[in-house]
Structure 1
Amino acid sequence: MTEASHPLAIIVLAAGKGTRMKSDTHKVLHPIAGRPMLEHLLASVGELSPERQVVVAGHGRDQLEKALAGRAAMALQEPQLGTAHAVQQAEGALAGFEGDVLVLYGDVPFVSADTMRAMIGRLHGADQPAVVVLGFEPDDALAYGRIIAKDGAIAKMVEFKDASAEERACRLCNSGLMAARASDLFALLARVGNDNAQGEYYLPDIVNIALADGRPCAVVVTADADEVAGINSRAELAEAEGRWQKRRRLQAMDDGVTLVAPETVWFSWDTKLGRDVVVEPNVVFGPGVEVADHVTIHAFSHLAGAKVASQADIGPYARLRPGADIREKARVGNFVEIKNAVMGVGAKANHLTYVGDAQVGAGANLGAGTITCNYDGYFKHKTIIGERAFIGSNSALIAPVKIGADAIVAAGSAVSRDVGDGELRLVRAEQLVKPGWADQFHDIMRRRKAEKKG
C-alpha cells in the first residue's frame, strides 16, 4: 500500500531488444555502480510497498526471470508493437486489481521514490485526473515527445515525429512514465490506434483519448532531468555511471569523508564509509564494502566484499577481496591481497603478501613475500596464525596449518606442520660453502672466452 493507502501496482516495460547495446546481456541488467539498472529502479519502487509488480519482457525474458527470481510477475510482449501495446500485456497479471498503476521503464533506473509519490498524489488531486504524466525540461529537447500543457493541466500529447513546428518548440517533454487507476488505464489502452508515422500503439495516446472524453489529465514536472534519462547504448550507460558516481562522491564528502582526488574514486551502490575516512586517488570500491571511522585507504587500492575496522591502514596497491575482515589498527600494505581472512587487531602485512582463507591473530607480523598456500588444486584449507607471531619474509605456510602465539617462522621457510606457541620454525636446506670456488670458476670462464676470441 502507498502512504495514501491506495493499493499500488507497478508495470515495468523491459521488452526492447536493446540493439544499440550490442550485448548478449539484457539491456536493463547492465550494471551501474555494480548493480543492474533494473535493480536500482526496483529499490526505489520498494519504498512505496507496491501490492503487485509486473515486468513486461520480450527479448531476453529468461535472463529477466532468473534475475527477478519470482519478485515480479512476467508478461510477454511478442511482437513489439509500441508502448501502449506493451502495457496492455500486463493486464492479465493485474486481473482483479483495483488501485493505482505506475508505468515505469527498466532502462530509466533513477526515478526517485519521491517522484513516484508525487505522481500518485497528483492522481488523487481534487480534479481526479484520468492520467498523470511525468514531464521534464531538458537543455536540449531533441526528439522527445512533447506535452502541451498550462498550469499543470495537459491540453495535448504529441510524438516528435507527428508534432508541428510550433509543438516542437515546446520544451516540456514526455518521460514516458505515467500513473492511472487500473480501471482507467486498460479501458483507455483498448481504444488506442496506430494511425501515426511509425504505425505503433503509443502509450501517450491514452492521454489524448481521455482529453477527448472531457476528462482532465495532469503533468508532474521533475526538477532533475537526469532522473528520467534513458539508457540505450554503452555510451549512455557510461554517462549514467558518471552522473551516479559524481553524486555519490559529493555525498561521501558531505558525510565526512576526505576524497583527495574525488573524480578518481569509484563507489559501488552499497559502499559504506565512516567519518574521517581518507581515500587517496584511484581507489575502487566493489560491492559489499564497509569501512569504519578513521581509516586511511591509500592510492590504487581495490576493495570488494570487505570490512575494515577503525584506524586500519590500507594500501597503496592493496587488494581486499570478499571475506576480508580487517580489524582495528591493522595494516594491509603495498601489493598485499587478502581474501576470506581475518587480520586481527594491530596485525601487519606490509608488502608483497597473499593471505587467503586465514585467521591472523592480533599483533602478528607477516613479512614481505609471505604466502598462505590455501588451495591444493581441489579444496581450500585454512591457515591460523596466533597472536604476536612473526612470519619471516618469503615464507610459505602450507594449509591446513597452525602457527602458535609468539611463534617465529624464519625467513624462507616452507611450513607444512603446526608450529607451537613460542617456537622457532626454520625450514631450509643446509647451506654448502666452498671457499674460493667462485674465484676459480671466473678464472676458468674468462680464459675460455679469451681462447674463443683468439
Structure 2
Amino acid sequence: MHNRYAVILAAGQGTRMKSKLYKVLHPVCGKPMVQHVVDQVMKLNIQEIVTIIGHGAEMVQAQLGDSSKYALQDQQLGTAHAVNQAQSMLDGKAGVTIVVCGDTPLIKAETMEALFKHHEELNAKATILTARISDPTGYGRIVRNSAGLVEKIVEHKDASEDERKISEINTGTYCFDNLALFEALKNVSNDNVQGEYYLPDVIEILKMQGEVVTAFQTAEFEETLGVNDRVALAEAERIMRIRTNTAHMRNGVTIIDPANTYIETDVEIGQDTVIYPGTMIKGKTVIGSECQIGPNSEIDSCHIGDQTVIRQSVAHNSSIGAQVNIGPFAHIRPESMIHNEVKIGNFVEIKKAIFGKGSKASHLSYIGDAEVGSDVNIGCGSITVNYDGKNKYLTKIEDGVFIGCNSNLVAPVTIGKGAYVAAGSTITKDVPGEALSIARAQQVNKENYVQKLNLKK
C-alpha cells in the first residue's frame, strides 16, 4: 500500500453564509463541518493530515487541535493555490494525497477508502470522485473516453449541448499521486476571469502529459454535498440526522418518530432503548439499554444507566444511574451524580449534587450543592439554601433522612443519618442522627377572630 496523505481545504470565509462564524465551523448535528471531515479522514490509514486555514485560522486550529498539521493561505486565490500551501510539508514525498473540502460534512470514510483503492489499483496519477444527479446544472461534467478513463472536466458554462446531457459531475474531491500533484501545481495558471488558480486545471495538465486520469463514482450524491449557505446547511443537517437515526435503529434502538428526533453523531445508545418524539440528545451522551427517553427531553453530554426513564426533562453534563425515574419537567444541571433507583419528580431542579441510591425528591424542590445519601426522602417544596449572595455552601443529607415538605436547609448544614426534619422547618444548624428537628413558630389559633374583624368594617 502507498503512503497516504490528506489535504483539507478550510480557508474560505463563506460569505454566502452571511455569518460572523467561519463557514467550516458551522455545526451539522452539533459538530463543526470541518470536524466531521477530519473525523472521517482519521478513520483511514493516513500518514499526515494538512488542513489549509485562512479566515478564522485560530478558531479552526482550536477546534481540530493536534489531529492535523496546518498551512496558512493568507490570500484566497483558488483551490490550486490552497493545496500548494501544503508544499513545504508534502512536496517530495511518494504516495497518494486525497484533497477534500472542509465544507462537505457528509462524506464517509468508506467512500474515501474506495476512492483510494480505485486510484491505486489503476495506478492513476489523478482520480476524481464523481456522482450522478438528475439535474447537473451548474456542475462540471465528467467526460470519459471509450475505456472509461477521464477525457476532461467541462464546466457547465463551457459545455456543449451534448456534454450538458451528461449526469456525472465533479464533486471536488480528488486523489493524486503526491509527487505529480506538486509538480503539476507549478504549471497552473490564473489566466481566467476570476484570476484564480483552480485545482481541476491539474487534471488537464496531467492529461496533456499522457498520464492516467480516472474517476470513481459514489453511489450517493448526498454525501458530496458542499455547504455554501444556510439552505444547504439545513439540508446537510437533515441528511445527517436521518443517517444517524437510521444507524441507531439498525443497532436495536426504537425511535418512535425519526423525523422529529435529533441525535448528534457522537451519541451512543444501548439496545431496546425507546426514544420518543421531540427529544434532542447531544454531545458525548451514552445511554444504556432498555431506557425510555422523552417525549420532549433534552439530554446533553450525560452518562445514563440501563432501564432509566427520563420524561419531558432536561439533563446536562451529569451522570445518571440505572433504574432512575426523572420527570416530567425536571432539570438536571451540570456536575450532578444520580445513583441507581433514584426518583426525581416533576418540577425538581438538581444542581451539582450527589443523590444516593434509592433517594427521592418527587415534587417541586431545588437541591443544589448537596450530598444526598441513600434512601433519603425529600418532601415537596424543599430547598437547599446554598447561596448567601457571595458564596455557595454545601448541604449534607445522610442516609435514611426524611425531609418534610416545604423545608429550607440553610447551608452549610448537615442532617445526620436517619434524622427527621418536620414540615415547614428552616434548618440553620446541624441535625444529629435519628433526631427530629422542628424549626418553625408555634401555632396559635385566635378563636372568633373573623367575627371581630367583620365588626370593624
Report the TM-score, using the length of structure 1 for normalisation.
0.89
CA distance in 1, matches of 2:353, 2:221: 44
Mapping for residues 40-439 of structure 1, pairs under 5 Å: 40-125=36-121, 127-149=122-144, 152-310=148-306, 311-439=323-451
CA distance in 2, matches of 1:402, 1:238: 51
CA distance in 2, matches of 1:321, 1:139: 49
Q: Cα distance, 1:380 vs. partner?
A: 4.3
Q: Cα distance, 1:172 vs. partner?
A: 0.8
CA distance in 1, matches of 2:375, 2:19: 49
Is the partner of 2:89 in helix, strand or coil? Answer: coil
Matched-pair contact (CA < 8 Å) for 1:308–1:325: no
Q: Cα distance, 1:103 vs. partner?
A: 0.6
CA distance in 2, matches of 1:97, 1:356: 58
1:326-367 per-position Cα deviation (integer Å, ceiling 9, x unaligned): 333322222333333333333222233333333333332222
Structure 1 residues 138 and 401 mapped into 2: Cα distance closer, same or farther (>3 Å)? farther
**Residue matched to 1:452:** none
Is the partner of 2:16 in helix, strand or coil? Answer: helix
Is the partner of 1:92 in helix, strand or coil? Answer: helix
**Residue matched to 2:316:** none
Aligned-residue CA RMSD (Å) = 2.4
Matched-pair contact (CA < 8 Å) for 2:141–2:153: yes
Matched-pair contact (CA < 8 Å) for 2:14–2:23: yes
Q: Cα distance, 1:142 vs. partner?
A: 3.0
Q: Cα distance, 1:106 vs. partner?
A: 0.9
Q: Given residue 130 of structure 1, which amino acid in structure 2 is its aligned partner? A: K
Matched-pair contact (CA < 8 Å) for 1:16–1:58: yes
Give aligned pairs, total. 440
Structure 1 residues 373 and 200 mapped into 2: Cα distance closer, same or farther (>3 Å)? same
Q: Cα distance, 1:432 vs. partner?
A: 4.1
Structure 1 residues 302 and 358 mapped into 2: Cα distance closer, same or farther (>3 Å)? farther
Report the TM-score, using the length of structure 2 for normalisation.
0.88
1:31-85 per-position Cα deviation (integer Å, ceiling 9, x unaligned): 2222222211111111124222211122211212222334322222232121111
Q: Cα distance, 1:179 vs. partner?
A: 1.0
CA distance in 1, matches of 2:299, 2:328: 12
1:424-445 per-position Cα deviation (integer Å, ceiling 9, x unaligned): 233323344333333433454x
Matched-pair contact (CA < 8 Å) for 1:381–1:399: yes
Matched-pair contact (CA < 8 Å) for 1:309–1:326: no
CA distance in 2, matches of 1:298, 1:365: 25
Identity %: 40
**Residue matched to 1:450:** none
